[in-house]
Amino acid sequence: MFTQLWETLARTYTKVGRGVACSLLFFVLFPHLIPSTARAEVIISEIMANPDEGTEWVELVNTGEETVTISNFELYDAVSSPSLLLKLPDPTELTPNIPLVLELPSSKLNNSGDTVSIYDTNHTLLQSASFGDSMKGLSWQLSSLDPLTYTEAAPTPGIFELSTIKITPTTSPTPSPQTVSTSPTPAPTSTPDETPPLSTEAMFSESQILEKTQLITGLLNSYSPASLSHYATQIQEPSETPPPQTIEVPKSFSPSKSTTLCLVIGGILIAVASYCILYVVEEKNLSSRQSLY
C-alpha cells in the first residue's frame, strides 16, 4: 500500500515538474524566436523630392535602442491617390541611429508638395511626412520630434544625429513676480497716558508710613536667631516618601521540556498505531477478496 502511494506521488510530481519546466522554457525562448518588428521608433528622417541629379530618395532611421526588422515594409505617396513608391526587400534590418537611404525606382514625388507614408507588413500606418514646394537640390530634413517637423536644407544622405533634433518642451505658465517692499516698517508710537501716576506722598500720608514701619520692626524683633534656625531645619528635612507599590504580574504558562517531549512522542505513537490499524484492515480486506476468488 505504501509503495503504491509513493509511486503515485512520484508520477504526479514528475508530470507537474515537466509542465512547469516547459512553461518556463516557453516564456524564456519565445521572445527570441520571434524577430523584432518596427513600431513607432522607425521614422522618416529625410526626403529628397527634387534632386539636382540622380534619383529621388527617402531616408529612414531607427530612434529606438534595438535593431528592428522592416522586411516587406512599403512606402507610399498620397497627394491625390496613394501609389506605391517602394517595397523593402527581405531581409531588411534597421540598426539604431544608423540611417537607411532608399532610392526610388522612378520619380514619383511631386515637387509642389507631397506626403510620404510608411506601412508595416500588416499595412498599418507607422508615420506620414508631408512637405511643401521643394527647391531644386534641397531635401526635407527632420528638425523636431515632438511634433514631427521637416525643414528644407542641404541634403545629408546617410548622416543622422539624434542630438541635433529638437524636442519641443511643454510650456508651463511662468509665475508673476512678487514685489517685496524693502522700506523699514515704522515702529508703533506709544500714546502717553493722560492720567499722571500718583506720587508716594499722595498715596500714603506720613503718619501711615510711620505706622507701617513700626509694625514691621516689631515683627522682626519678635523672632530670635534660634527660632529662625529651627524653622530652617524643618524646611530642609525631607518628608518621608511612601514605599513604591509592587504589582505582581501572573506568569504565562510555559510547559517544560519534558512535557513537550512527551507530547511529541505521544503524537508519533498515535500516528504509528493508526497506520498499523489501517494496514491490518487493508490486509484483511485483501485476504477476504482473495478467498472469494
Give the burial string for 186-214 (b: 16+ CB within 10 Å, else e).
Answer: eeeeeeeeeeeeeeeeeeeeeeeeeeeee
Determine the Cα–Cα distance for residues 49 and 114; give it in Å rounded to an integer. Answer: 9
Q: Of 79-93, 201-215, 232-246, which gets the smallest average pLDDT?
A: 232-246
| % of residues, the chain, pLDDT over 70 | 54
pLDDT at 290: 76
pLDDT at 219: 62
> Is residue 33 scored above 50 in pLDDT?
no
Q: For the segment 62-91, what is each residue's pLDDT rounded down to a tens digit?
A: 989 999 999 999 999 986 678 899 999 999
Per DSSP bridges, beta strands 114-119 and 74-77 are: antiparallel
- Fill in the amino acid letter for 265: I
pLDDT at 165: 61
What rounded mean pLDDT belongs to the chain? 72
Determine the Cα–Cα distance for residues 72 and 256; give it in Å rounded to an integer. Answer: 80
CB within 8 Å of 279: residues ≥ 6 apart: 1
Q: Of 170-174, 219-223, 267-271, which gets the smallest average pLDDT?
A: 170-174
Q: For the segment 6-16, what is each residue's pLDDT rounded down to a tens digit?
A: 565 456 445 54
- What's the pLDDT band for 172 if we cut at 50, 70, 90? very low
- What's the pLDDT band for 171 if we cut at 50, 70, 90? very low
Beta strands in 27-174 (DSSP E): 42-48, 57-62, 68-69, 74-77, 83-87, 93-94, 100-103, 114-119, 125-131, 139-146, 148-153, 166-167
Residues 100-122, mean pLDDT to the nearest whole number:
93
Q: Which residue has the higher pLDDT, 2 or 162?
A: 162
Report, in this order, helix, strand and coil percent for the chain, each rounded to 5: 35, 20, 45
CB within 8 Å of 54: residues ≥ 6 apart: 103
- What's the pLDDT band for 167 if we cut at 50, 70, 90? very low
Residues 154-161, mean pLDDT to the nearest whole number:
89
CB within 8 Å of 136: residues ≥ 6 apart: 50, 52
Within 13 Å and on the Cβ side, how many CA atoms surround 175?
A: 3
Please name which of 66, 139, 57 lies closest in space to residue 101, comparing C-alpha atoms: 57
pTM listed for this prediction: 0.46
